[in-house]
A and B are shown apart, each in its own frame.
Chain A
Amino acid sequence: MAKVTLTIDGIGVMAEPETTVLQAALAADVYIPHLCYHPDLRPAGVCRVCMVEVEGRGLVPSCLTPVAEGMTVSTESPQVDKVRRVAVELLLANHPEDCLTCGKNNRCELQRIAAYIGIDRKQLGRFRRSKEPIPIDTSNPFFNRDMNRCILCGICVRTCEELQGTCAINYVNRGYKAVTAPFGNEPIAESNCEACGECVVRCPTGALSCKGFQEPTREVRTVCPYCGVGCGIRLGVRGGKIVSSQGDPQSLANHGRLCVKGRFGHDFVNHPRRLTKPLVRKQGELVETDWDEALGLVAEKFTQHKGKQFAAIASAKCTSEENYVAQKFTRAVMGTNSIDHCARL
């Protein structure tokens, strides 16, 4: 289908048909502040931060407005600023002001928008209500749910429903008491939550944050070591330790999505009980030794048991290169085809 031409802040923009004004602007590198929109999800239009002015139509939420040929859009005007400012002030009035110690510090969309709009602290008082602090739900071992920081954008609810099909959370209560929560406002660990963490990575504020999150010093693209789906992951490293894992959006197997094991299941790599030295059995006990002794012993014994007296079981956890070497060794050196692996179990 032919592209649609529209004008955003005086710039001509070519947009895909059936996209929204917000999508067209973002694709053209024009920033429109937004909180409840996420590219993976259907637009909800609940935060009202992405308001723009369309000539002949007045104020509209850009995330819900389809592009049209010849449309003229302004992302900035006194009207836009007024509406958007009030929307953000309402969100900030009761929001904790401890950004520096928040788990999402520097990765928070609300921070970014507050900075973009420019907030006058004195203006917030008029919206403030006395509100009991809500206890933080720490029941999940991998992430916390702090509803004091929730802006009710619903990205978590839509992620769980639209992307995961799990539907573990939804809106609970009304008005000032509204939060997102599992059925009956129970702790998340007692719900049907699968701990995939997809909501945590999409949450724009500190409402959902990983426990003990550390920013990695570098990330490496690799493949998850668990099931056969072969999800692409970006493993984050800091000081020789794996500190994070996120789905690789470029992976054709998973397009950035992960399950609980792929996102949170890599601590075993740096576990203190990892084997770090070869062991040989001496007087009935396994004792540590060096590679030279261990390999020498293996070579000596295997030499005595070539052919039918030998078998190898390789591993579907190892790389293909390692499996190749294992079968070559079994066939070429040990003289037998008795090699198998765990495919049957």
Chain B
Amino acid sequence: MAGLVTSFGSGAMTNSIGEIAETKCMLAIGTNTTVAHPVIAVEMKKAVRNGAKLIVANPKEIDLCRAATSFVQQRPGSDVALLMGMARVIVDEGLEDKEFIAERCENFDALKESLEAFDPDTVEKLTGVPKEEVAEAARCFATHKPASIFFAMGITQHTHGTDNVLAVANLAMLTGNVGKTSSGVNPLRGQNNVQGACDMGSLPNVYPGYQKVIDPKIREKFQQAWGCDLSDSVGITHTEIIDAVHDGTIKSLYLIGENPVLSEANASHAEEALKRTDFLVVQDIFLTETAELADVVLPGATFAEKDGTFTNTERRVQRVRKVIEPVGDSKPDWWITCEIAKRMGAAGFDFESPEEIFTEITSLTPSYAGITYERLEGGGLQWPCPSADHPGTPTLHTERFATPSGKGKFMPLEYRPPAELPDDEYPLILTTDRSLFHFHTSTMTRKVAGLEQLDGRERLGINPDDAARLGIADDDTLRVTSRRGEVTVVANVTGACPPGLVSSTFHFAESRMNVLTNPALDPVAKIPETKVCAVRVEKMPGGESGG
């Protein structure tokens, strides 16, 4: 989300789910919406039925294409070229929103200059998309307003993920599609409370409400509130933490509801790191692959066993309510962390209830200041909600952007290829995707018998041409090898994957696909490039399917 902070000053979905049905054009890029955000996909299809255009841009022919007006199948990792190519067409043909650019944005000349490098022929070469299709998509997006852009991990999980997001923001500003109903830049957040975890400062550089840890005034505010001294240096990110554990700098690691043995790019490295920790504490609801490595395992309670709030992808803070008592001796995670703190002699952790914690949150977080549990009874409030009489904010940036200057900032960009490209030894690109029937490392979904019945094993999508060349048939057992490891998986021969691309999820512990993926990071967002890695695929000896 670092990209959106640069362009708009705030890294969240600019608009709301309820606005989708009234949009006139949608660009869905790097999101397999029907499987990862099914109910939002339903809204998008509704917009299409209401007459909206839908442009799907994805290396795979995903299910959403069935509802699309046009489908642009760019090469994995070529999103900057595609988006800047579209911007170039819009500027060349004079379709940009000149008034919006003049009044609301800055740095347009720099963008214009950098568009020089994205002439139609170059873009066609880089993306593999015929230039007429790029131009057609650009015209469609520029001439149907309001238009909105949706994206997910297909945009961010690249070594140039931040550039991808900046390119998305450029396109939205160029066409005047920010700050208006049914428009905007809409990153679809993956986990139920990923927005809330970010808002609460479970990030190494910010306190709750994105208040910077390096700002002395802010730090002083939190020192006062918490009655302690606080570190003035930015902490390290998820992937860097794993590395620091691996090299022994970090001795104690506290993992709450996380399963890096399956989710981390280059997962074997993560597993090895975790085995090396002096002291590993895992707090979870099941004995996950990661918990099995722990020194202490603390049983947490599920969402159904505690009160609290989740903040969804549209910044809506909603009440989670206790439905049953925690099973066995399990405890809510907030209680566990507070107990550890109290046993270490810390003050400020004597919370009796989540509502008490929430009151402390709102006293320190300006964007949540006007929210109370009582106000949430009405169906939730969208932040920013700075005061008790504020109705919440369905659409961001309506008057001014959250940047220091108040203007949206165009960012010049250049194309950078993925960190790892196919070669003779590893001739195919692997990209990771998700299944409708599972969630992330499937700690929860694989405990649901029916979901397991509907989708019970990893399958590697492979184009029929590639499959024929490699002598692979549906359901054959395959060995997939990258520079980091190898995995056994079953074949799914499908035209949804273009030649040269194979695709899998990472839901299944039996086929740990993230053993293969590339941990190379985006330099700003520190997100690994799990969407592109070079692999070799072979049929296992005797791997023919039983049928």
A contact residues vs B (CB 8 Å cutoff)? 140-142, 162-165, 189, 194-196, 220-232, 235, 237, 240-242, 250-254, 257-262, 264-271, 273-281, 286, 290-291, 294-299, 301-305, 307-333, 335-345
Contacts and interface: CB of A to CB of B under 8 A. Distances in A.
Secondary structure at the B interface, as helix, strand, loop or mixed, is: mixed
Contacts of B314: 230, 253
Contacts of B285: 268, 274-275
A302 B254 contact: yes
Nearest to A297: B296
Interface stretch (B95-103, B203-211, B539-547): B203-211
Interface in B331-358: 331-334, 336-341, 343-344, 346, 348-349, 351, 354, 357-358
Contact of B193 (A253, A275, A299, A323): A323
Contacts of B468: none
B195 interface: yes
Contact of A315 (B256, B324, B328, B354): B256
A103 B253 CA distance: 50
A335 to B, nearest CB: 6
A38 to B, nearest CB: 16
- Rank and list the top 6 A-B pairs by shortest CB-CB distance, nearest first: A276-B328, A230-B312, A319-B308, A315-B257, A337-B235, A141-B450
Contacts of A294: 296, 298
Contacts of B340: 295, 298-299, 302, 329
Interface centre among A220, A274, A275, A309 (most CB of B within 10 A): A275
A339 B331 contact: no
A264 to B, nearest CB: 6
Interface string B311-341: 1111011111111110111111110111111
B197 A316 contact: yes
Nearest to A281: B295
Given A305-B250, A316-B190, 16 more contacts: A163-B42, A253-B312, A267-B450, A274-B330, A275-B299, A275-B300, A295-B340, A309-B251, A312-B255, A314-B258, A318-B197, A320-B358, A320-B361, A321-B309, A330-B235, A340-B236
A241 B324 contact: yes
A222 B309 CA distance: 9
B256 A318 contact: yes
19 contacts: A141-B450, A165-B42, A194-B38, A228-B192, A229-B37, A229-B313, A230-B380, A259-B38, A259-B39, A274-B285, A275-B291, A280-B297, A286-B287, A316-B191, A318-B256, A322-B308, A323-B196, A332-B228, A343-B1
Given A222-B303, A226-B439, A322-B332, A316 B194 contact: yes
B204 A338 contact: yes
A326 B448 contact: no
Interface string B226-268: 1011110111111101001100011111111110100111000
Contacts of B322: 220
A312 B254 contact: yes
Secondary structure at the A interface, as helix, strand, loop or mixed, is: mixed
Contacts of A307: 231
Interface in B408-439: 436-437, 439
A318 B264 contact: no
B208 A324 contact: yes
Contacts of B260: 313
Contact of A251 (B239, B299, B329, B379): B379
Contacts of B230: 331-332, 335
B22 interface: no
B110 interface: no
B302 interface: yes
A337 B234 contact: yes
Contacts of A328: 226, 348-349
A247 B170 CA distance: 37
Interface stretch (B76-84, B139-147, B522-530): B522-530
B305 interface: yes
A341 to B, nearest CB: 5
Contact of A309 (B233, B250, B263, B286): B250
B299 A344 contact: no
A220 B307 CA distance: 12
Nearest to A231: B39
Contact of B447 (A271, A279, A316): A271
A304 B37 CA distance: 43
Contacts of B473: none
A155 to B, nearest CB: 17
A306 to B, nearest CB: 9
B67 interface: yes
